[in-house]
Amino acid sequence: MLCDICGKNPATVHLTEIIDDQMNELHLCEECARTKSAAMEQQFGLSDLLAGMVDFQKPSAKEEELVNIKCSSCGLSYADFKKIGRLGCGECYDVFRKYLAPLLKRIHGSNQHVGKSPLKIKTTVTRVTKKKIDLAELKEQLQKAIQKEAFEEAARLRDQIKEIESKKGKEG
């Protein structure tokens, strides 16, 4: 397949562009993709989007004091992050973690990675994952109950765990 723009080079980049509810597919060579990317960055950059989402809510007193915090590794300040929409290094994630979590939750709908699964096995995977999470939560609750010396609660949790594990043994 040749590039839709120049028509000379093989298309190695495939874009789906949605403008005014109309979907257009573009098949571009590397050179045309680079040009198109630069044009799109000037028109509406990802950094502008992220910076806009950071400014979405009125900054709290804590966020205002964060303006003075800088990454010790690269020297990036929170104000700089808001301007450019990019973090300077891996250390920035730790320095700004408390303020990035709500931002990531707004962008992705969650601040924990859950991955993707093919539709056919998604329900099975979800059930298995949920069982693992439930079992882990129950075991954690059991340990807390034992520490608190809430032995009746611990016995109830122990029985629940045994029941789940016995079902798991029969299924697996």
- Contacts for 25 with CB less than 8 Å, ≥ 6 apart: 14, 15, 16, 17
pLDDT(80) > 60: yes
pLDDT(56) > 50: no
Q: At what angle do helices 97-108 and 46-54 cross, to 10 degrees?
A: 110
How many residues are present in the chain? 172
CA 165 to chain centre: 31
pLDDT the model gives residue 93? 85
Structure tokens at 13: 């980049």
Task: Tell the residue number behind the tokens 């029985």, with chain if given.
Answer: 159
Structure tokens at 32: 């045309």
- Three-state DSSP at 39 gives helix
CA 152 to chain centre: 40
pLDDT the model gives residue 10? 92
- For the residues 9-17, what does the mean pLDDT come to? 84
What is the distance between the alpha carbons of residues 140 and 155, in angstroms, rounded to a whole number?
13
Task: Strands of the chain (E only): list them.
Answer: 13-19, 22-28
Q: Which residue has the higher pLDDT, 81 or 67?
A: 81
How is the chain split into domains, by residue range? 1-43, 49-108, 119-171
Half-sphere exposure of 43 (CA within 13 A, CB side): 6
List beta partners, residue 43.
Answer: none
pLDDT tens digits for range 83-109: 777 888 989 888 888 878 777 777 767
Cut 0.85: pTM above it: no
- Contacts for 64 with CB less than 8 Å, ≥ 6 apart: none
Top mean pLDDT of 25-29, 42-46, 63-67, 120-124 is at: 25-29
Alpha-carbon separation of residue 156 from 19, 75, 168, 169 (angstroms): 57, 52, 19, 20
List beta partners, residue 144.
Answer: none
pLDDT tens digits for range 125-159: 455 556 666 788 888 889 999 999 999 999 999 99
